[in-house]
Homo-oligomer: A and B are copies of this chain.
Amino acid sequence: MKKGSKAAEPDTNGIPSDAPRKDARRSDARRKYDPEQTKRNILDVATQEFSAMGLTGARVDAIAERTNTTKRMLYYYFGSKEGLYQAVLEKVYGDIRELEQDLHVSELDPVEGMRALVEFTFDYHDRQRDFVRLVTIENINGAKYVEQVKSFKGRNVTVIHTIEDLLARGIAAGKFRSDVDPIDLHLLISSLCFHRVGNRHTFGTAFGRDPSHPRLRARHRAMIVDAVLRFVRKED
């Protein structure tokens, strides 16, 4: 194993990472002392590094190097490598939540709502690779850190409520079967949307197909929507 810390090389192929936008500076003059910006900057770089390298694989030095500040500030604000990792997790989960606010499924008819939910889930995972990778990493860590993330449980409850609502309305409209457990359905949707992103490297190696290629992506999207709708549809 080469030691040179080239940092965060693996992955990141395709869509550019969603983390550090240098232009995110406060619109007012670039001030020298801007703790919020400093923190955000560190957090953005750390998101990249942790999602690319894992908790143990990430290097504090590598993060610091790509930051506008020094390693010291990283400890000043986040206390430790683990603390920083945790903060990254928190940020990432917070980000999703904001996005989900925009999804008003309850205003759509159940079938269209279900389609919208699946498409949203698909798109989100497809775009937020860092999120997918961090979840993967957390599963290797035994979900040790995510447990302490406040926004984590809340977010999941929301999704389940959405699904319950869709299912109930679908059943009432005679469109959906009545024996589907909402959490199981969530798992099913997640599986389909998550796996092709999280495992795209082994998939690509195995079949010579990159699941993130636009054509494939479109086909997968349609397939997954189709599969979910067939699964919930009431058969006559």
A residues in contact (CB < 8 Å) with B: 1-2, 10-11, 53-57, 79-83, 133, 135-144, 146-147, 152-153, 156, 160, 181, 183-184, 187-188, 190-192, 194-196, 198-207, 209, 211, 219-220, 223-224, 226-227, 230-231, 233
Whole-angstrom distance between the Cβ of A11 and the nearest chain B Cβ: 5
A220-B186 Cα distance, complex, nearest whole Å:
12
A10-B146 Cα distance, complex, nearest whole Å:
14
Give 23 pairs: A residue, B residue, CB < 8 Å, sorted on A.
Answer: A2-B79, A11-B142, A54-B54, A54-B56, A135-B199, A136-B199, A138-B202, A139-B200, A139-B202, A143-B204, A152-B205, A152-B206, A160-B207, A187-B196, A187-B220, A191-B191, A191-B192, A191-B195, A191-B196, A192-B192, A194-B195, A195-B195, A230-B233
With A10-B142, A79-B1, A140-B10 given, is the CB distance from A227 to B231 under 8 Å? yes
Which chain B residues border A219 with CB–CB below 8 Å? 181, 184
Q: Tell me if A's interface is mostly helix, strand, loop or mixed.
A: helix
Whole-angstrom distance between the Cβ of A17 and the nearest chain B Cβ: 14
Contact B198 A139 (CB under 8 A): yes
Which chain B residues border A205 with CB–CB below 8 Å? 143, 146-147, 152-153
A192-B142 Cα distance, complex, nearest whole Å:
20
Which chain B residues border A83 with CB–CB below 8 Å? 1
Whole-angstrom distance between the Cβ of A66 and the nearest chain B Cβ: 19
Residue in B closest to A75 when the chains form the complex, CB atoms = B1
Contact A156 B191 (CB under 8 A): no
Which chain B residues border A207 with CB–CB below 8 Å? 156, 160, 183
Contact B211 A54 (CB under 8 A): no
Residue among A53, A57, A133, A219 with the highest chain B CB neighbour number at 10 A: A57
Which chain B residues border A181 with CB–CB below 8 Å? 219
Contact B1 A82 (CB under 8 A): yes
Residue among A191, A198, A223 with the highest chain B CB neighbour number at 10 A: A191
State which of B56, B147, B183, B201 has its C-beta within 8 Å of the C-beta of A138.
Answer: B201
Closest 10 CB pairs between A and B?
A1-B79, A10-B142, A191-B195, A143-B201, A56-B57, A156-B206, A56-B56, A230-B230, A143-B205, A227-B231
